[in-house]
Amino acid sequence: MRLSAALTLCLALSVTAGRAQTEKRQDDPRAISKAPGLKPSSSKLAPQIGSPSPQQYTYSGWEFWTNVLIPAGGSLNLDSQIDFSSSDSVRVTVRSEGDPLSGLVLSAYWAVPQLPSFNSAEVATGDKFYYTNVGGATFNTYGSQFRLRITNTGNIPVNLSQVLLFTRLI
């Protein structure tokens, strides 16, 4: 009797676990290109502001874009001008004036100058944001060059009124 119950429970758990997994796919080759002549998106890069700490200086770096339009089913690369060599993470926030963000995918791509392309490390999805029109994510640093790829999986364009990157540089 106990063996039968245990086998039934194992079978039920394995079926549930199999359904919970989502299909994986390759990233888009347009997301990784560091081709010469590829014009990076223009941002507003703020000067770094330092504040002394007992044994080191910590600097804050931030960068932002305004009026970013992502077409339905499309993607956009935002290339940061910040050198992330001395940072452990980057925080990203996005805001729209009313367009729902549930179909957005924020992908963190990293590289170093010597590599020919970017690699993706982490992904955040807009359907996990608490608010429908604003949200964010924190990504770990995996290189000195950062590219934020914003993909709109929805069927209507999304206009982001602002995209903000913030990091602590040590």
Q: Which of 101, 103, 138, 145 has its CA nearest to residue 122?
A: 138
d(CA 79, CA 67): 16
**With bands split at pLDDT 50, 70 and 90, how would you rate the model's confidence at 170?**
confident
Position 126 scores a pLDDT of 97
> Span 82-91, mean pLDDT?
94
Q: Which two tokens stand for residue 6?
A: 């245990």
Residue 28, pLDDT > 50, answer yes
Position 133 scores a pLDDT of 95
123-127: list long-range contacts, CB under 8 Å, 24+ apart. Answer: 124/92, 126/94, 126/100, 126/101, 126/102, 127/102, 127/103
pTM of the full predicted structure? 0.74
Position 13 scores a pLDDT of 54
Q: Higher-confidence residue: 118 or 20?
A: 118
Report all structural domains of the chain as residue ranges with CATH numbers, in order of start.
39-169 (2.60.120.380)
> Span 121-136, mean pLDDT?
96
> Span 2-31, mean pLDDT?
56
